[in-house]
Chains A and B, each alone.
Chain A
Amino acid sequence: MNINRPCGTFDRNYFQAKELYRTPLRKTLLALFIIAMYVIPFVVGEYGISILTPICAFTIGMLGLQIITGYAGQISIGHAAFMGIGMYTVAILQKYFGFSFWLALPFSGLVAMAVGIIFGIPALRMKGLYLAFATLAAHFVIVYVISNWRSVTNGTDGMYMSRPGVLFGIDFTDDRNYYFLALTVTAIMTYLATNLARTKLGRALVAVRDNDIAAELMGINVGTTKVLAFGIGCFFAGVSGAIGGAYYEYVNVEWFGLDDSIWYLGFLVVGGFGSIFGAIAGAVVWKVMDELSTLVTPLTEALLGGAAFYASAAFSLLFYSLIIITFLVFEPRGISHRWEMIKRSYRLHPFPY
């Protein structure tokens, strides 16, 4: 997929052409990055871990949305609800069937995938905006079912779930060890998503996004491809929900309102479409902004006096939406595009292009 190659690197055999990371420099940087991610929790302490673990969970969800929206070009305004399905699947399987977390984790993805495929079926007949409406409807129907099927989901009171216990002598109830688990799952999912773009299906997704009529003429089954994109994206969302929900050991239907689905889409734009880096950047920016807005809340309260219980609610809405709108107006291709530009100007340094 990577067309912009550093000057002077050529593929000498098929193995090199298939590599994800070609140059020794990039391999070293990747290895250093992964090692750094595993070392960071020893440096930043409890507070850092409490930010990093949600970032891992949301990165997985964002990768799923990147597959649906960035690769396949289908707009989903219900992604948070699919994440919620993942959370509730784990909670229900643990409560009623006594599954362990390890067994429930793949199921969370599969159930979300099945629901995603059902709501993605309208994609067989239409595209673009109309599909956005289908996912909007999916969001409302899913949230309605979860908050009103009291006998199973405990309604709006939420459900408790448990983290995985001890495995191979590692105690995952500890926050730091749980972060390692979340990071490992994120790394695996990122690897899968990166490779998906290079498979036959991944190329079909991109073809459908760029021009669905042309894709159909080339022999791609457009409907099936779109529905599959929905399924895979929702699988990621479900896994992300399982990881995120188990971190808090609790799940509540209020965690995935319509605004969360919209933030998902919005921060995907901030990160950048169609690239894995964009998805990760979007999730990181989202959660960092989340943390910033909770830090600023006492400030708004001080500014507006005691009556600020509403101001903090308004503040996060105004803050996020302004970030997203500003990004779209000034840099519609997001952070990943800027990053590519920086990389290119570094590579070509003395010359402009």
Chain B
Amino acid sequence: MEEIIKSIVLGICSGGIYALIAVSYVVIYKSTRVFPFSQAAVLIIGAYIMWYCTIAWHIPIWLGFVITCAGGAILGMFVERAFMRPLVGQPILAPIVVTLSLMLFLRGVGILMGKGDVQGFGESFLPVGAWQFGFLHLPKIQIYAFLLCAVIIAALILFYQKTRTGLGMRVVHEDHVVAQNLGINVKRIFQYSWIISCIIASIAGMLLGNIQGVGLALDANGIVAIAAVLFGGLESFSGAIVAGLTIGILQMLTIAYIAPLLPGETTMMVPFVFLLLVLFIKPYGLFGLVRIERL
């Protein structure tokens, strides 16, 4: 029983970052209906920018945070303008192949940035240490990362609900043609989506880099988050949050109960078995939109 509660609490903590990554996928999918596999590699880039700022160049942490966000924004803008916009209107395969190749391209950039090594933040920029509640041993770094994720997701949802641009993004999600007819600049909205998503992904990347060490292995988190997005439904923020936490809990339960029984990287494999089950049973996810097609 203790073990289960421990796994669930720790799972929720690590699931916060999965939820954040899942949200970064959802932002783009919602408006452009292209699934951005490349966001998995943006995590690496974000983590390395933060690493260079704080460790290599000794820039204050808050400024490093701002620079990382700016780097993510520029990356998103560039990717959308250079690679995604020419493919608007192409069959679904073209953007998928581009985002997949982009994932490997950014991975290559990551190798060059890290010179092939795993780098650690010498000292964490989030508080270290742990709180002790009875038998629960909660690392502070996880809690703060979770809180930061929650704040960012809340801010994003407020942005979608309260601002004019957010309203435009919701309209674009409904229908591109209708949005165009209403005078919304759909291309601009696509660009905003990529920028927001890349900023979110780089923030998630630097949080993960702080916890796991900055290296190429970070994109595994992004790929696991794909399972979360699908479970939650590709178009839903609430789905992404619920599913991100679920995948976090699932991974912790895996470590506690399945990993002793099976060899190898079970934490990577179990989310994908889960994804296959989701696809068999409820392909459009918990809150996904089932689009009814007509001829």
Binding site for B on A (CB under 8 A): 69, 73, 75, 77, 119, 121-122, 125-126, 128-130, 132-134, 136-138, 140-141, 144, 147-148, 150, 211, 213-214, 217, 258-259, 262, 265-266, 269, 273, 307, 309-311, 313-318, 320-322, 324-325, 328-329, 332
Q: Which of B182-232 contact A (CB under 8 A)?
A: 223, 226-227, 230
A217 — nearest CB in chain B belongs to which residue?
Answer: B295
Name 15 extra pairs, CB < 8 A, besides A122-B276, A141-B269, A332-B87.
Answer: A121-B280, A137-B276, A140-B272, A144-B265, A150-B263, A262-B100, A262-B101, A307-B115, A309-B116, A314-B112, A315-B108, A320-B101, A321-B108, A328-B101, A329-B86
Which residues of chain B from 111 to 135 have any CB-CB distance to chain A below 8 Å in the complex? 111-112, 114-116
- Chain B residue numbers with a CB within 8 Å of A318 are 105, 108-109
Contact B112 A329 (CB under 8 A): no
Contact A137 B262 (CB under 8 A): no
Contact (Cβ within 8 A) B279 A269: no
Assess whether A328 is in contact with B94, with CB atoms less than 8 Å apart: yes
Q: What are the residues of chain B within 8 A of A315 when measuring CB–CB?
A: 108
How far is the CB of B235 from the nearest CB of chain A, in Å? Answer: 12
- CB of B283 within 8 A of CB of A130, answer yes
Q: How far is the CB of B221 from chain A (nearest CB, A)?
A: 14
Q: With A137-B275, A259-B104, A321-B104 in contact, is A332–B96 under 8 Å at CB? A: no
Q: Smallest Cβ distance from B161 to chain A, in angstroms?
A: 27
Is B227 within 8 A of A137, CB to CB?
Answer: yes
Q: B87, A328: Cβ atoms under 8 Å?
A: yes
B residues lining the A interface (CB < 8 Å): 35, 82-83, 86-87, 90, 92-94, 96-98, 100-105, 107-109, 111-112, 114-116, 223, 226-227, 230, 234, 262-265, 268-269, 272-273, 275-276, 279-280, 283-284, 293-295
Nearest Cβ in chain A — how far from B96, in angstroms? 6
20 pairs from A and B in contact (CB 8 Å cutoff): A69-B93, A129-B92, A130-B284, A134-B275, A134-B276, A136-B272, A137-B272, A141-B269, A213-B294, A217-B295, A262-B104, A266-B97, A273-B93, A314-B108, A314-B109, A320-B104, A321-B105, A324-B101, A328-B97, A332-B87
The binding surface of chain B is classed by DSSP as helix
Taking A137-B276, A321-B105 as contacts, is the C-beta distance between A213 and B295 under 8 angstroms? yes
CA distance A75 to B92 in the complex (A): 9
Please report the C-alpha to C-alpha distance between residue A178 and residue B260 in the assembled complex, in whole angstroms: 45
- In angstroms, Cα B227 to Cα A313, docked, is 28
Contact between A133 and B294, CB atoms less than 8 A apart: no
> Cβ of A140 and Cβ of B269 under 8 Å apart?
yes
Tell me how far the C-beta of B18 lies from the nearest C-beta in chain A, rounded to whole angstroms. 16
A294 to chain B, nearest CB (A): 16
Q: How far is the CA of A314 from the CA of B276 in the complex (A)?
A: 32
Knowing A150-B263, A310-B111, A325-B83 touch, does A134 contact B97 (C-beta < 8 A)? no
